[in-house]
Structure 1
């Protein structure tokens, strides 16, 4: 039994939301929405859900988990958009959730006094997410109503994946939210169709245009045969390794015959690239925003140019093109990382730490890293802040 349910029993109330630490927040939501709180009607249920979601998101954003499209960030985004929709269904057409983190902080101040220090920042993040969703929600709901009407007129009971994909990519409607609305209309939701449609959309829009590694098929067979590649690239840029896998055209090969210089830049045609897997390597596989190494694999019968290195399931995947001779499964090769490029990447990596320190010094501890791209000749550092950075502050950061 959870703590809040235990508290409800001890306090003699009929709902977790009516205990002494939550009821004031529910009442604050009702006041903000200009609605009377009646526990048993639809608006009462919406008010409770808004209170629950705002409380969760206030804590998450306080800890710098911002609304986004991946992992825990997507959870925050989905919770906020569900709360915005609840407000919309009560007739609210302007941002309102951002007024509530102050009530959360006030109610939780005894156990979490630090919440009061970030109320303004949390409110700003929530307001921006509200504005983003409100900009498209009208068109999205109109499209949803037409979708449900067509399903009902056809005597069906399933929201198709293509429709759900369109609503997500065009209007920002999370599929979980659409599934909830569908359930209210006694309709099922086609999750498999949605995933297939999203995958097709990604291919059409160019998403994932970098070289894709194999998470099944030939690499799966290697995973069953060995644990992975030993990486020694922090100690040395050259080492000896044995070829344990050659993947070409999505299948394992025993040999790779002489191909010579390609007629076109193979990097623009990923399907022409070959992947070589070694038991031991000095090549760093892309990770944490830092790009993978390039260089050469040199064996007794051929030379292989490595154009990119990815990591997957403990393996380092050397992706590139055979330039001279041939290579064979089980053959020993010498790994040679491009040392000048690795040094440039190392400098860019160090620069991200300097940028991070400067941002936290001038903007505050909330300016945490949200992502990065560390390459040999440039870097990108993604961070969160409540507003635009002024010219004077930007100059201080750059200095």
Structure 2
């Protein structure tokens, strides 16, 4: 990532950027694979009370970096002194080969307990790498046109209120599931930002279009969406399988089903995702290993194979131990649902060599045959 000077130039020291430069910037963004860009102001004061309340209630779980950053997330000019505008960017991530009816297909997979489900966004290349490089190219192109300027590029890599900035710049609105939603693209996209010291013209904010719909709230397997636009991360399957590094609380293990990395349920059920766009880049094409794997196939991997298969993938960052922990939970759920002896045999054979964390989940999994089955999504 480009490291700009800590203090950016003051906007007052610059002339406003001509409109034709913004037109060129949008064209360049499209060529780089971005679906849309916008410009937001840095005054996010109205978002601070909600952020503070969320933190004070402990809804961020063990993501302690959220506490450390505190209100800096809502203060771009404090995070990067001199920032006066934020260029926001949207990049669609549905794999190019995604079939029509993909939402129904994904839900059907949740009803096949011996098959593993990986969140759609993580089936291809790590989006952090893809977006960060292309945001930097966008900034470099702008510098070639107008001359050097202060900037910092972010892709889910710093205390940034991404959805708030996206909604204020017209990329979408905050859905009831807390994700950004667009009338043209649903929610299946990544967000990125460039903090700049340029007096770029602001783009109009988005209006919310969720209406009375609460499908995302009702479908959540762990009821993690505790109210409209308020998520309790401690209950969220994406948090539990990715961010959380300890034992998964027992009350959430059965609802996890066969989800081994992330959860898309609140997006799959969203009516706006009938407009979700396929990615323009091959980077997000699904790797064979994560497109339609079985739990036993993935359980058979050793750490070397895990590292090889996840090279350049967002999945690698959870590490082999959490990967095995997640698989053990899913295998236990499949064992309860199917009674397939191959599942219990695979778990038993791996038990002794497992770490204490994984062994705890293996023991839970082996005990599931005598536990009543749950309906997926219940």
Q: TM-score range by the shorter chain?
A: under 0.3
What's the TM-score, normalizing by structure 2?
A: 0.22
When Rg is computed on C-alpha atoms for both structures, the one with the higher figure is: 1
More strand by share: 1
